[in-house]
Amino acid sequence: MKLIFFAFILLSCNAYDDRQAYIIHMDVSVMPAPFSGSESWHMSILTSLSSSTGKAPAMHLYSYKHVMQGFSAVLTSAQLEQIKQVSGHVATYPDSYGQLLTTHTPKFLGLKKESGLWPASNYGDGMIIGIIDTGIWPESKSFKDEGMPPVPKRWKGRCETGTAFNSSLCNRKLIGARSFSKGRKQLHLNISNTDDYNSPRDFSGHGTHTSSTAAGSPVSDVSYYGYAPGIATGMAQKAHIAMYKTIFAGDTKKTAGADVLAGMDQAIEDGVDLMSLSLGLVPAPYYSDIIALGAFAALEKGIFVSCAAGNSGPNAYSIINEAPWLTSVGAGTVDRDFVATVTLGNSTKTIRGLSIYPKSLFVSNVSLYYGLGNTSKESCDSFSLDTKEVAGKIVLCNPMSDIYSQLDEMSRVAAKGAIFITDQGEHLFPEDYSKPFVAVSLSKGKMIKNYIARAADLATVSIRFRETDLGSKPAPQVAFFSSRGPSLISPGILKPDILAPGFNVLAAWVPNRGFYVDNDSLTTDYALISGTSMASPHVIGIAALIKSAHRDWSPAAIRSAMMTTADITDNTGSPIIDMNSRATGSPLDYGAGHINPNKAMDPGLVYDITVQDYIDFLCGLNYTSLQIGMITKRSNYRCTRANLDLNYPSFMVILNNTNTMTQTFKRVLTNVESSSSSYQAAVRTSKGMKVVVKPQTLIFDGLNSTQEFTVRVDIDLSKSTRKQSEYLGNYGYLSWYEIGGKHVVTSPIVSAFAPPQKKNAI
């Protein structure tokens, strides 16, 4: 199983001659007057450090302008102790290192040419999206600039020249491309042309895929080897793309947090409007979380930041990118299946199974083998089948815990193909189909067995591959790998924020990286990839559309618009289910719900949050003045109302080892309509949860008018009829209905048990 997602993993101190990279926070207010800028000051500090005998001098990596006050450098342990004594030193943390973890989604999301968010935003015209990723393949048709508007005059970025990449490859679509690898190189991880490109060019395909999903230009007649055919287009097809390559491939697939921070810093300097990161860190306090630091600096510039929520589901407390000033995105399925048609014998009846076998193949009247009466052969256990009996035939295999060992056995005995009976077919990815096989359900497997019992040795089968079914139900579902809440760092904030398409998403790919099928390497310009990495660029593209239509909205207002208009039901009208358990999901799985772009364009009301509100939240976390200063880059901040009750579009009650709890929330709603309006509160809860809203009616005078209200939540799980889990209490929803109008503003109310000890925190 391969999910395309980056997860940073903290490593112990590297043994390379006692040298390691560090991120060093400095107080710029004590910088001596003679220095013209902070970088020259940082260089002077490093030059002044003494080196132990035989040790290399301290090495400067980056000086940061926006994401933090300070720099990154490679130091020995002795130099580290020296730098801690330098005037202006605030704090030092070891760098963190990481390793590698469409045609239909616009329609599934309701985006249309003739109405709604696409025409209202002019397809994201004027927006600049910064992508922090593995680079980009500029020759892809998804990055052609026909019909693109001119590059905004405020843009300060550039395209750099490097290996297999020239600045002339940029255009009005791809307006910026840079790479950052100093942190990686200090690990002695040089970049060779066989491992990656020492330039913004994408080697792994990930950055090309995410970029085209967010803002790719329309491209006709694309598919993944015949699957998912159609017109591929990004969410915001007239938005500009700027790539910041911070992730490099290679044998070790490591990257440095210092590089990621440098990429975010440069994106802010260049003037992006939005930023997407399909990568993350092990949960850490926000003052030592690189992405949280960078996102806070972006927030202060009005930049909307979207991040992948993680691929560690369905486990609870697995969410990453938890900071409330960024939008955490979970992955959902779409209403599209890839299938093969199975015909038994000469029957006119067919059976549909799941398959994404990429080669053009029609299996016609091939003998069908089933090891009837032998449990090992029925299951196609390792070394259970006889080549003489099976070679050239289609093999039927009973459920096994490991379908990959069945594939190995099928290859060993030279079977022509296989039909796997499994209830886990939806958990397979395109790259798993390295051999021709079909996954059928248990009930359909029983039908095939009954046919074999009747036909005996005369049983034959025909299989037609490369078919795409649209309109499958139910959809969306929460993808089984999508990380779940509650948050470890600030459990009082519901995360993930929202669900977006992240399962088998078709988008641009790199032609130099193939998929292995029948021991052949097949190349493609468009690939089906899954992961929350694919969900985040959907949200960033939609955010670009909203921001283009509402230039004065803050990042918090954009996120609120998405969350309060999200769908909590699927295309059958039933609650969204968890793909893994087949049971009804909860807001800890999908946040506020599945994103609905057209509704998000016109939410009626928003929960807005200012920078000062976030500072008060940090004060409520009991961070020290030093720690808050590291996040805010200020020494003169003040706490106006230290508390954890952020003006968020959701309500989270944490049960501290008890089944009962009472909590009161204070919220403020802002009218984003030009006319006056009134709203009436309505609450939906399960037994064991009582919610009282005061006042019940809110009256708004006009644009930007505000109204306060309180929500009291009483939890008594002894009265709940819902089956309890180890982490979820119960949940409900508060909706504000516009009186005589169309707007409905909905927020989840969730009770959950306190997370376990923060063993993964730094």
Query: What pLDDT was estimated at residue 194?
Result: 61
Dihedral sign computed on CA atoms, order 180, 182, 183, 184? positive
CA neighbours closer than 13 Å in the CB half-sphere of residue 571 = 16
Query: What pLDDT was estimated at residue 583?
Result: 93
Whole-angstrom Cα distance, residue 278 to residue 4? 9
pLDDT band at 187 (very low <50, low <70, confident <90, very high): low
Residue-wise pLDDT tens digits, 682-738? 999 989 999 999 999 999 999 999 999 999 999 999 888 777 777 899 999 999 999
Q: Do 68 and 258 form a contact (C-beta atoms < 8 A)?
A: no
Axis-axis angle for helices 532-549, 206-215 (nearest 10): 30
The whole-number average pLDDT for the span 274-300 is: 92
| Listed ranges 1-5, 258-262, 325-329, 402-406; the one with the highest mean pLDDT | 325-329
pLDDT of residue 7 exceeding 60: no
- Summary mean pLDDT of the chain: 91
DSSP 433: -
The whole-number average pLDDT for the span 342-368 is: 91
DSSP H helical ranges for 427-530: 442-455
Whole-angstrom Cα distance, residue 22 to residue 74? 6
Task: Examine the domain organization and report whether 340 and 301 are in the same domain.
Answer: no
Query: What pLDDT was estimated at residue 98?
Result: 54
pLDDT of residue 252 exceeding 70: no
pLDDT band at 2 (very low <50, low <70, confident <90, very high): very low
Which tokens hold the place of 240? 């500009």
Query: What pLDDT was estimated at residue 20?
Result: 85
Q: Do 58 and 71 form a contact (C-beta atoms < 8 A)?
A: no
Last residue of a domain, one of 425, 452, 470: 470
SS3 369: strand
Closest by CA position to 330, among listed 750, 5, 112, 762: 5
SS3 295: helix
Query: What pLDDT was estimated at residue 14?
Result: 37
Percent of the chain with pLDDT over 90: 78
pLDDT of residue 16 exceeding 60: no
Q: Is residue 408 part of a domain?
A: yes
Question: Can you spell out the DSSP letters for 620-686?
Answer: HTT--HHHHHHHH--SS---SS--S----SSEEEEESSSSEEEEEEEEEEEE-SSS-EEEEEEEE--
Query: What pLDDT was estimated at residue 195?
Result: 79
Query: What pLDDT was estimated at residue 1?
Result: 39
Task: Examine the domain organization and report whether 133 and 274 are in the same domain.
Answer: yes
The whole-number average pLDDT for the span 128-145 is: 97
**Domain of 398, in residue numbers:** 336-470
Q: Give the CATH number, domain containing residue 186.
A: 3.40.50.200
Q: Is residue 569 part of a domain?
A: yes
Task: Examine the domain organization and report whether 310 and 205 are in the same domain.
Answer: yes
Query: What pLDDT was estimated at residue 710?
Result: 98
Task: Examine the domain organization and report whether 327 and 343 are in the same domain.
Answer: no
Task: Examine the domain organization and report whether 310 and 454 are in the same domain.
Answer: no
Whole-angstrom Cα distance, residue 248 to residue 252? 10
Q: Give the CATH number, domain containing residue 438.
A: 3.50.30.30
Pairing of strands 97-100, 6-9: antiparallel
Whole-angstrom Cα distance, residue 286 to residue 762? 10
Task: Examine the domain organization and report whether 245 and 190 are in the same domain.
Answer: yes
Burial class (CB in 10 A: 0-12, 13-18, 19+), 719: middle
Burial class (CB in 10 A: 0-12, 13-18, 19+), 544: buried
Q: Give the CATH number, domain containing residue 685.
A: 2.60.40.2310
Whole-angstrom Cα distance, residue 189 to residue 197? 13
Query: What pLDDT was estimated at residue 52?
Result: 56
Dihedral sign computed on CA atoms, order 63, 65, 66, 69? positive
Whole-angstrom Cα distance, residue 252 to residue 307? 24
Question: Can you spell out the DSSP letters for 686-724?
Answer: -TTEEEEEESSEEEE-STT-EEEEEEEEEEEGGG--SPP
Closest by CA position to 462, among listed 446, 448, 442, 441: 448
Residues 272-293 as b/e (b if ≥16 CB within 10 A, e otherwise) read bbbbbbbbbbbbbbbbbbbbbb
Residue-wise pLDDT tens digits, 375-427? 999 999 999 999 999 999 999 999 987 888 999 999 999 999 999 999 888 99
Task: Examine the domain organization and report whether 277 and 412 are in the same domain.
Answer: no
Whole-angstrom Cα distance, residue 130 to residue 264? 8
Last residue of a domain, one of 435, 453, 470: 470
Task: Examine the domain organization and report whether 182 and 238 are in the same domain.
Answer: yes
Q: Is residue 419 part of a domain?
A: yes
Task: Examine the domain organization and report whether 290 and 354 are in the same domain.
Answer: no
Query: What pLDDT was estimated at residue 97?
Result: 62
pLDDT of residue 176 exceeding 70: yes
Dihedral sign computed on CA atoms, order 215, 111, 578, 729? positive
**SS (HEC) of 54-107:** CCCCCEEEEEECCCCCEEEEEEEHHHHHHHCCCCCEEEEEECCEEEECCCCHHH
Which tokens hold the place of 568? 């909590």
Asked if the bond preceding 474 is cis, omega within 30° of 0, the reply is: yes
The whole-number average pLDDT for the span 324-336 is: 97
The whole-number average pLDDT for the span 334-343 is: 95
How far CA 65 is from CA of 17, 262, 294, 745, in Å, comes to 30, 9, 11, 38
pLDDT of residue 4 exceeding 60: no
Closest by CA position to 592, among listed 742, 737, 733, 710: 733
Query: What pLDDT was estimated at residue 206?
Result: 94
Whole-angstrom Cα distance, residue 185 to residue 111? 43
Q: Is residue 574 part of a domain?
A: yes
Whole-angstrom Cα distance, residue 235 to residue 106? 7
Query: What pLDDT was estimated at residue 656?
Result: 84
Bigger pLDDT: 171 or 4? 171
pLDDT of residue 251 exceeding 60: no
Percent of the chain with pLDDT over 70: 93
Q: Is residue 402 part of a domain?
A: yes
Whole-angstrom Cα distance, residue 290 to residue 268? 15
CA neighbours closer than 13 Å in the CB half-sphere of residue 712 = 6
Query: What pLDDT was estimated at residue 281?
Result: 73
Q: Is residue 46 part of a domain?
A: no
Residue-wise pLDDT tens digits, 39-54? 999 999 999 887 654 5
Closest by CA position to 592, among listed 705, 454, 731, 391: 731
Whole-angstrom Cα distance, residue 514 to residue 516? 6
Residue-wise pLDDT tens digits, 604-639? 999 999 999 999 999 999 999 999 999 999 888 889
Task: Examine the domain organization and report whether 141 and 269 are in the same domain.
Answer: yes
DSSP 419: E
Task: Examine the domain organization and report whether 483 and 419 are in the same domain.
Answer: no
| Alpha-carbon torsion, ordered 691, 693, 697, 699, to 10 deg | -130
Task: Examine the domain organization and report whether 665 and 726 are in the same domain.
Answer: yes
Q: Is residue 73 part of a domain?
A: no
Catalytic residue numbers, as ranges? 133, 206, 533
Q: Is residue 27 part of a domain?
A: no
Stretch (H or E) spanning 500: strand 498-501
Whole-angstrom Cα distance, residue 580 to residue 590? 13
Q: What share of the chain is helix, strand, coil (3-state, %, to 5)?
A: 25, 30, 45
Q: Do 1 and 311 form a contact (C-beta atoms < 8 A)?
A: no
pLDDT band at 467 (very low <50, low <70, confident <90, very high): very high
Last residue of a domain, one of 548, 574, 601: 601
Whole-angstrom Cα distance, residue 212 to residue 216? 4
The total number of structural domains in the chain stands at 3
